[in-house]
Structure 1
Amino acid sequence: MKPRSLLSDYLFKNWLLIGIFVCIFLASIYPSLGAKEGPLKPEYTVKYGAVSVIFFISGLSLKTDSVYYTLQQHWLHLFIQSLHSFSFLFSLITVACMPPPVSSAVILTKASQGNETAAIFNSVLGSFFGILITPLLLLFNLGFTTVVPVMGIVLQLSVSVLLPLCAGQLIRCYTEFRGHRLPLNTISQSALLFIIYTTFCDTFNMPESGLIATDILLTMFIVLVVQIVLLTLSFIMAKSIQYFSPADVVCAMFCSTHKSLTLGIPILRIMFHGLSHLTQISLPLLVYHPTQMILGGLLVTNLKEWMYSQNSKKLPL
């Protein structure tokens, strides 16, 4: 095989990972473009645009039978939600209290050919639980008192997640449109890249608040180690449960370890508004969120190969 062919194959298989690094590079050059209240208006284009596109496509792609089957996978849901809570023992306090994301775990599970339906179910379930549980955990661990606008966050989740998901399912059930002629996976992953880009724009556009380079580097190192430990533990534990298929293992690994920046940062800003050390409190989550997507991008190809090998073993000779 020619070197050019090898390079093109590698780029094709890992385009999502490459796209993540391109987004980081572009965000570092001109962060104010995609930062909150910047020209791209991510407070609207991400919350109600990119996230909605991801879940509309998911609703359009999911077979209705798989949704019914997923609702019966009680042990998988219990494992994911329990392990997500168990991460409090390993992670940083503010990050540990955060709910799961509503997009990255779903897209990475789908890209790895894991159980996408279960990923959606647990991401949405965990996000709604997090609206109530996250503020309580923060109050318990950090000792602050505040009021969180629960109904506002519920409305945001309903508009950007549930409505597009249900719309996609309704179109699938009552029309013949399946989107087969459209590159739905590419569109979903491109929407995720836009979310990643705006996330890093916010990170690079972070105002000065007394943090020095060693603080940021130390936080990045700790977060990286924590994530590697959590991903490894969740993979080993899920793989050891005989009731879980390889697709379930991939879903459990991502959904039980990911934390949400989209929901987490607004909650932190509401709860600790006006405090001089808000940036220090937010920094671990700002680092954790993009790092989990970079690690996930690195794992996608290996997970797909692992799933293929596991499924090949089950095929009759």
Structure 2
Amino acid sequence: MGIKEFPGKAKTYIKSLTWRDILNFIIDQWFLECLGIAILIAYLVPNLGKKGGWLAAQYSVIYVCPALIFFVSGLTMDTKVLIQTAALYRIHLVSQIMSYLYTSMFFFVFSYAALMSNDKHINASILGGFILLGCTPTTIGSNVVFTRNAHGNHAATLIEVTIANLLSPVLSPALISMYMTSSNKWGEFRPSGGTGGYQALYRSVFKQLGLTVFVPLFVGQLLRYIATKQVKYVAEKFKINKFSSVFLILIMWSTFSSCFATGAFAAMTPQSTGLVMMMDFGLYWFFLFSTLVVTRGSRKVHFKNKYLDSILNFFRFNKRDTIAMCYVIPAKTPALGVPLINALYANHPGISDQMKQMLQIPIILYQIEQLCFSSSSVPLFRRWVRDEEEAAKLEAEEKARVEKSATADTEQIGQSSNSSSSTEVARSEAEVEVIDDLVGVEEVHAQGQILRDLEKQ
């Protein structure tokens, strides 16, 4: 279709739309609509969902909701698939390198360029927050939800999320220290590096991973093993995967409630707000498309040198794995970003409470945008991976047909063997009867001969 034909095609498509089509579209976007309502409630009643608020969200939401997300994953995920995915070292290496080193490098470059501009309207705390944002790990709950909804390899996403958050207490402070000490311009934002702060960070990270990832995932897998048929029936009947999206909305509601309650947004200048929104928007899509180029574009490039081609082959993945990486690599989590800031600047004399709140703003706003972009990309990825799903389905059906045919052949061979055995048995019985008859005849002849000899005597 040419460019000139596009307006006419668009008008025809719009005229063909019915109220049912519009209603279905609105229903399909329920996640973003509910997220908007949650943000509005957080703005109107911030004390309800903030940390330390009326509902004690630091426990009731921050721990319970992610735990329920991974519990659902444990119920619906095949254990064999999870184990097989854990052995895919290529996706682990590429995801973690790009998630930490690749993304943090670009966040640092843009932040440093903005800092060197010496614009008085841009708050330095915001730029420092961008560097902290780039060094934080990927999100814990949302990636698994969106990858599953997009029909990607959500087992890979679950494992990458776990690995990234386990590495965070070591890698994140090291990267932040490296970037912040690269120039005297950062001055006051250099981490204090207090031992007590790092210990608190380690405790927070591992406690959160244990209670929200490992324990609920294990319990879900255990229930699936004990009552496989019942769990599958309940999962399909009540569509429990949908509940993961609801839990994710509750997590974001609590995050916004805390941000509105502290007044962090009110302290931002319009220039800082515009810079944050543009950088978040641009960097997220840049990371998303570069991930697609690395994992899928490399499939179209081939070298005559087998060694170079084998190196490039290391970065080639199928569509389901690519979808998982597209949700893992660009995403950043405030769940560990905020504790990281508190740990690094716990006893820092040059960082006030308001500056700590300003450091958190890029993380919060990035979380908003990445949720919106991730949700909107789900239908696109779902359509993109459809051909692989159909091919996998045909392959599974062909495999089942071959196995069924092999089973039928085995049964037929068994029946033939049984028939041959029966024939042999019957033949043997007949031979035995003949032999018995012959033996009987010989005995009769012998007895007659004995009688004749007695008569002669």
In structure 1, what is the equivalent of residue 152 of structure 2? 114
- Structure 1 stretches of 5 or more lacking a match? none
Q: Which structure has the highest helix share of the two?
A: 2
Q: How does 1:133-152 map to 2 (within 5 A)?
A: 133-142=171-180, 143-144=190-191, 145-146=193-194, 147-148=197-198, 149=200, 150-152=202-204
Per-residue CA deviation, residues 105-124 of structure 1 (Å, 9 max, x unaligned), is: 11111111111100000001
Q: Rg larger in 1 or in 2?
A: 2
Aligned AA (2:246): S
Post-superposition offset of 1:312:
4.7
Q: Is the 8 A contact 2:65 2:248 kept in 1?
A: yes
Task: Tell me: CA distance 1:173–1:202, structure 2 relative to 1, closer, same or farther (3 Å).
Answer: same
Task: Tell me: CA distance 1:313–1:152, structure 2 relative to 1, closer, same or farther (3 Å).
Answer: closer
Q: Is the 8 A contact 2:42 2:49 kept in 1?
A: yes
In structure 2, what is the equivalent of residue 248 of structure 1? 321
Q: Does 1:260 align with 2:330?
A: no
Aligned AA (1:51): P
d(CA) in 2 for partners of 1:158 and 1:299? Answer: 30
In structure 2, what is the equivalent of residue 17 of structure 1? 32
Post-superposition offset of 1:204:
2.5
Range with greater deviation from structure 2 (80-89 or 180-189): 180-189
- 2:224 equivalent among 168, 172, 192: 172
Q: Is the 8 A contact 2:143 2:328 kept in 1?
A: yes
In structure 2, what is the equivalent of residue 29 of structure 1? 44
In structure 2, what is the equivalent of residue 104 of structure 1? 142
In structure 1, what is the equivalent of residue 207 of structure 2? 155
- 2:375 equivalent among 262, 272, 297: 297
Per-residue CA deviation, residues 37-83 of structure 1 (Å, 9 max, x unaligned), is: 12232211222210000000001110011112101211111111111
d(CA) in 2 for partners of 1:195 and 1:257? Answer: 19
Per-residue CA deviation, residues 202-237 of structure 1 (Å, 9 max, x unaligned), is: 233333584323322321221111111111111222
Identity among equivalent pairs (%)? 22
d(CA) in 1 for partners of 2:85 and 2:330? Answer: 20
Post-superposition offset of 1:100:
1.4
In structure 2, what is the equivalent of residue 225 of structure 1? 282
In structure 1, what is the equivalent of residue 79 of structure 2? 64
Aligned AA (1:298): S
Q: Is the 8 A contact 1:84 1:257 kept in 2?
A: yes
d(CA) in 2 for partners of 1:41 and 1:214? Answer: 34
Per-residue CA deviation, residues 251-278 of structure 1 (Å, 9 max, x unaligned), is: 0101111111111101112222362221
d(CA) in 1 for partners of 2:69 and 2:224? Answer: 15
Post-superposition offset of 1:164:
0.2
Q: Does 1:4 align with 2:42?
A: no
In structure 2, what is the equivalent of residue 42 of structure 1? 57
d(CA) in 2 for partners of 1:248 and 1:171? Answer: 27
In structure 1, what is the equivalent of residue 104 of structure 2? 88
Where relative contact order (Cα < 8 A, 6+ residues apart) is larger, the structure is: 1
d(CA) in 2 for partners of 1:83 and 1:153? Answer: 21
Aligned AA (1:154): F
d(CA) in 2 for partners of 1:237 and 1:309? Answer: 21
- Structure 2 stretches of 5 or more lacking a match? 1-15, 108-129, 181-189, 300-315, 396-457
Report the number of matched residues.
Answer: 316
Aligned AA (2:367): H
In structure 2, what is the equivalent of residue 284 of structure 1? 362
In structure 2, what is the equivalent of residue 306 of structure 1? 384
Per-residue CA deviation, residues 108-162 of structure 1 (Å, 9 max, x unaligned), is: 1111111110000000110010122212222333332223121342122101111
TM-score scaled by length of structure 2 = 0.65
Post-superposition offset of 1:95:
0.8
